[in-house]
Each structure stands twice: as C-alpha cells, then as structure tokens.
Amino acid sequence: MNRIIEKKQLSAEVFEMVVEAPRIARSRRAGQFVIIQIDTEWGERIPLTIADADAELGTLTLVFQTVGATTHKLAVKAPGAYIENILGPLGNPTHVENFGAVVCVGGGIGVAPLFPIVQAMKDAGNHVSVIIGARNKDLVIFEDRMRRFADELTVVTDDGSYGKKAVVTVPLRDYCAATPKPNLTVAIGPPIMMKFCEKTTAEFDVPLMVSLNTIMIDGTGMCGGCRVTVGNETKFVCIDGPEFDGHHVDFDNMMFRMRSYREREDSDHHKCHLELGLEPIQAAGGAK
C-alpha cells in the first residue's frame, strides 16, 4: 500500500501525484518507470514513468494524463488515500554520458518522462536544448521545471495559443540543419510524434533515442504484451527498453498493436465516467 502525499492538477487533463515508495525512490534512475494497480482485486496494471523522486523523503512523483478508466480513477484519489500496489523501478535507465549537444523533444504528457532525462543529460555536462509541444496553452506542462535545466527552451503549440504555432518537428529540423548538428536527439511523446521525429532526424543523419509507451501488463517480460519490432527483431519494451534507437523502431506496427483493445477501453472509460458522476463520453470506438 502506497500513500498519496500530494496531488496537483497541472492542466485540464494532467495530474501530478507524490506518493510514498521509499525503496523505489532510493534506487530509481532516469528513464525508469513503475507499474501501478489502484486496487488489486479488479484494477488493471498501468505503467507510469517516474518523473521525479526524493530519496530522503522516500517519495516518487508521477505525472499522468486522464485518457481512460484507470487514469480517471487515479485522478479522483485525494492525498491520504492509497494506491494498492506500485511495482518498480522497471525498465533500463537512460544511457547518459557527455554526448556534447543534446536536443530533447517532449510532446503532450511525454514532457513529464522527458524531465529526468533532461536533468541527467545536463548533470553529465551536455548542452541541452528542449522542445516542448502541446495541442494548446492549457496542455503545456513542466515549462518552469525544464527552464531550470535547459540551456535553450522552445515551446510550440498546435493552435498557436502559446509559444510558436508549430509542431515539434519544425524547431527540431532547425537544430538538425544547423552546423554543428546535435550529437543526440531524444523524443518522448505520442507514437505518431516520435515517428515524425524519426523522419526529421534521419534526413540529417542525427541519432535519435525514443522511449516507447506500448501496452504493458506484467512489466517483467512474461506476457509479451509490450512487444515491438526494432531492426527486424522482436523486443519487449518492459525489459529491453523502454528506450530504443528511434531509427530502427517499426512505429506503424507499434501503433497498430496499441489499438488492439480500443473498444474495451472505450467501454470501460464510458462506464467509469458514469461511476464518477462525470459527463458520459462518446468515444471513437463507440462507448457501451
């Protein structure tokens, strides 16, 4: 049982929670994640990246977007309540060294998992440029925190309500086309965004590291739910990742697999809204 210490709403759909998990807080490293279960009898298991941790206080910071049933149920929990189960730290830590110039791109909720990587890259002596992308101003998160570590920060929104009106690949292209080129780029966000970051960086022959957010169940390499194709090989994101060379990931196959349970997810999401007294949703897959 892990107690929720603090909860903040960062935007209309994004929440930050500080939870007690002393052993994980002491051992976690940048790039790792946990799998949480809100209730052990019926609750599904969902992976969330460790956005930050305090080893002395024994706490983890999780940042999540309310996209479906489980994240909505988590969002209504108040400080003092418990998450029944937190498993971790899982996944391989980010490979951090002094690469030189690193450009880090975060889209939507991907900005939260990017934060510990930006911190670690800066601590290793890199010149770190950060690009934050969001659909609109209300969905921009972590700007102040990023500013503390980034040598340069660019914010873009799809509708131009904040920062530049652009998608993240526009400033990313500018960095890649400059001389000297970045030594490494890192992208975390929706699969479609990572796919286009791959195309942009490939054009200039710039290395790209991505952190994949496939469906996960056990998180220990047993179920196969998280499998992806990387360079014609099958990899399990939970134990081989979550970070991979973006130039070898089959993003189309990954996106196809992530839609596998859409109908059931929409139905659960709809039921959850009714249970929580929220507006009923009419999701793409047809809520029942």
Give the one entry of Mg ion, ligand FAD, ligand FES, none that residue 177 binds, where binding means its C-beta sits below a cut-off of 5 to 8 angstroms depending on kind: none
**What's the CA dihedral at 127, 246, 36, 54 to 10 degrees?**
-10
219 interacts with ligand FES by CB under 6 A? yes
189 interacts with ligand FAD by CB under 6 A? no
- The backbone torsions φ and ψ at residue 201, rounded to the nearest 5 degrees and listed phi first, read -75, -30
Among 173, 258, 271, 285, binds ligand FAD (CB under 6 A): 258
Please name the amino acid found at residue 61: T
Among 2, 17, 33, 141, binds ligand FAD (CB under 6 A): 33
Structure tokens at 125: 């002596």
225 interacts with ligand FES by CB under 6 A? yes
Total number of residues binding Mg ion (CB under 5 A)? Answer: 3
Among 221, 231, 280, 286, binds ligand FES (CB under 6 A): 221
Give the one entry of ligand FES, ligand FAD, Mg ion, none that residue 88 binds, where binding means its C-beta sits below a cut-off of 5 to 8 angstroms depending on kind: none
Total number of residues binding ligand FAD (CB under 6 A)? Answer: 27
126-134, 144-152, 172-180, 208-216 -> range binding ligand FAD (CB under 6 A): 208-216
225 interacts with Mg ion by CB under 5 A? no
Q: What is the nearest approach in angstroms of Mg ion to the Cβ of residue 38?
A: 11
Name which of 49 and 119 has its Cβ closer to ligand FAD: 49
The Cα 66–Cα 62 span in angstroms is 13
Among 70, 169, 185, 213, binds Mg ion (CB under 5 A): 70
Strands laid side by side in the 59-65 sheet:
82-83, 2-9, 14-20, 59-65, 45-54, 33-37, 85-90
218 interacts with ligand FES by CB under 6 A? yes
Binding mask 214-233 vs ligand FAD (x if CB under 6 A, - otherwise)? Answer: xxx-----------------
Helix pair 251-258, 191-203: axis angle to 10 deg = 180
CA terminus-to-terminus distance, the chain: 32
Name which of 141 and 272 has its Cβ closer to Mg ion: 272
Binding site for ligand FES (CB under 6 A): 216-219, 221-226, 236, 238
Contact residues: ligand FAD, CB under 6 A: 33, 44-49, 63-65, 67-71, 109, 112-113, 213-216, 242, 258, 262, 265, 269
The residues binding Mg ion (CB under 5 A) are 68-70
